[in-house]
Amino acid sequence: MKKIIYKGLIMAISVGAISSCTTEDLDPTLAQNKSVEQSVNNVGNLFSILKGVHSLMSESGYYGQDVIITNEVRSDNTFSIGNSGRYTTESQYLYNNNTDLIWNNAYEVIANANIIINANLENLEGDVDYGAHVQGQATAIRALAHFDLLREYGQQHTGSGNLGVPIVTEYKGDNLFPARNTIEEVKAAIYSDLEMAYSMMDSQYDDSKVYISKLGVKALESRVAVYFGDWTRARDAAEIVVNSGEYSVISADSYVDSWQGDGGVNVIFELAASQVDNAGINGLAYMYQINADGSGYGDVVARPEVLGIYEDSDVRLGILDTSGDWIRNTGKYPDNVNFTNNIPLIRFEEVVLNYAEALMETGGDALTQLNKLPANRGASLYAAATKDNILLERRRELIFEGFRFDDQLRTGMTMEAVGTDGMIMETIDYPSYLFAWPIPLSEMNANSNMVQNDGY
C-alpha cells in the first residue's frame, strides 16, 4: 500500500502540471517530504489534481478496460475466445494472485483524491466555494473507488469471512500498511463519503459530464444501495435524479447513434477520451471488435443465448454484429480507429432501473419506471414489475458495460466458467471463493497486515 500511495501522488502532480498548472502554481517538491498543505497553493491546483484522478480512472487497468471487461466475461453475457490471449483466465475462473486487476489503479485514484479532500481551503487562493465543490467531487470518486475495490475483492459473495478492503482516507497517514476493514465498515465509509460529497457540492459548478455532478452523486448512491439491497436508500437516491428533469431515456431512433457521441441527454457521468489519449490496443473497442482491416483483438464475444433475450423489434440488437462466426459488440464504445468515444460510467437508464427495483422492493409503482426502457427501445411493455423482469431489462440495457456479474452475484445466481470455444467448463454454485478476486501477490509480500482471500 505504501508504494501505491506514493506512486499516486507522483501521478497526480505530473498529470496536473501538464493539464493546467505552471511551475509557479504547483510546487514540484510536492512528491517529496514537504506537506501537502504547503505545496497546494490555490483552488486551481485542486482541479488539476482532480483531472489527474479522472485520467487514472480511464486507464486500461481500471475503467478503460479491466473492470468492465472482467465483469462481463465472468457473467452469462460474454466470454473470451482468446484471440490475443486476453481475459481467458477470467472467463474460465482460473485467475490467480499474480495479477493486480484494479487494485493499484483504484488505490492511486484514492491517493490522489485524498490530496484534494484533505487540503485546507482556508489557506488556498481562489474561489473557496468552488474549492468545496471540487473536494466534494473527489470525495464521491473516493467512494466509487472504494466501492469498486469492495465488489471485486470483498468476501460478501464467498460464503465465508467478512473482510472488505482497506479504507484509506489520508495521503500520508501514519498507517502505511493498513489491514482490511470489514465489509460493513467499507460500506459505511462509502455511504458517508457520498453523503458528504452531496452536501459539499453546488450544482452551479456542474458544467461538464466528464466530472461527477451533484446529481451524479445521488445516481452513484442508488447503484451502491441496489448492490447492498438497501432499498429505501436506493429508492430515495434514484428518485432525486429521476425527478430532477435533467436527464431522459434516449429514444429508440437515437439509441445506436448515441454511442458514437458524447454527453447525451441520458449521460450523467462519463470519462473523457480523445485521439490524443488514444487507448489503442488497451481500449474497450479493441477487446470487443475486429474491423474489416483486421485491426482489433475481438477477444470478448457475446454468448449465443444473448440473442434470445431481445425481441426482433428491439433497437438494442443494432449494437450487435452477427455476420461472422461470433456475436460481437460493435455499437457500444464503437470507435476502433481514433478511440475518441467517452466511456459512460453512469447513464440515466441505469438509475431508472435502480429506481424500479427499489420501488418494487418497497411497495411503490415500479412498473411505470420499468416500462420507460422498453417504451424507448421498440420492445413490448412488461405486464408486471417482477425481480426477474427487472433483471432481464438490466441485462438487455446494460450489456457490455460491466453490470451483469454484480447483478448475478447479488441475487445468488449460479455462474459458469466458459472456455475459448464457448463451451461450459464448470458450473460454480453461489457462494464461492472464486467470486472474490485474490489480493495481489505484490501487496501480500509488501504488507504484513494484509490477509488473503480464501482459496488463493
Query: Residue 276 has what pLDDT?
Result: 67
- pLDDT bin (cut points 50, 70, 90) of residue 146 is very high
Report pLDDT for 429.
Answer: 98
Q: Of all helices (H) and strands (E), which one includes residue 241? A: helix 231-242
List of residues 6+ apart from 144 with CB closer than 8 A: 212, 220
CA distance 263 to 270: 8
* Measured distance CA(176)–CA(158) in Å, rounded: 28
- E strands present in 59-147: 78-80
pLDDT tens-digit map of 231-289: 999 999 999 999 999 999 999 999 999 999 899 999 999 999 877 666 778 889 999 99
- Report d(CA 202, CA 154) in Å as an integer: 33
pLDDT for 402 beyond 90:
yes
**CA 47-52-55 angle, 5° bins:** 130
The grid coordinates of residue 169 equal 482516507
User: How many Å apart are CA 270 and CA 253, to the nearest integer?
Assistant: 22
Give the mean model confidence (pLDDT) for residues 81-86: 95
The better pLDDT of the pair 336, 310 is held by 310
* pLDDT tens digit sequence for 151-175: 999 999 999 999 999 999 998 667 7
- Determine the length of the chain: 456
Residues 135/200, Cβ–Cβ less than 8 Å: yes
Looking at residue 372, the DSSP 8-state letter turns out to be T
Residue 347 DSSP label: E
Q: Dihedral sign for Cα 86, 88, 90, 95, please.
A: negative
Check pLDDT > 60 for residue 32. no
Predicted pLDDT of residue 8? 39
Query: Is the pLDDT assigned to residue 86 strictly greater than 70?
Result: yes
Q: Is residue 68 a contact partner of residue 286, using CB atoms and an 8 Å limit? A: no
For the chain, count helices (H), then strands (E). 17, 8
Question: Residue 452: what are its φ and ψ, rounded to 5°?
Answer: -80, 150
CA distance 355 to 183: 24
Helices (H), 339-435: 348-362, 366-370, 387-398, 404-410
Residue-averaged pLDDT of the chain? 91
How far lies 242's CA from each of 37, 128, 222, in Å? 39, 30, 11
At 295, the pLDDT band (50, 70, 90 cuts) reads: confident
Please give the pLDDT value at position 410: 98
84 in the Ramachandran plot: left (φ > 0), alpha (ψ -120 to 50) or beta? alpha
Question: Are the C-beta atoms of residues 11 and 112 closer than 8 Å to each other?
Answer: yes
CB 50 within 8 A of CB 116: yes
Predicted confidence at residue 99, as pLDDT, reads 85
Nearest to 396 by CA among 413, 409, 378: 378
Q: What's the CA gap between 183 and 163, in Å, rounded?
A: 5
pLDDT (tens digit per residue) in 200-240: 999 999 999 999 999 999 999 999 999 999 999 999 999 99
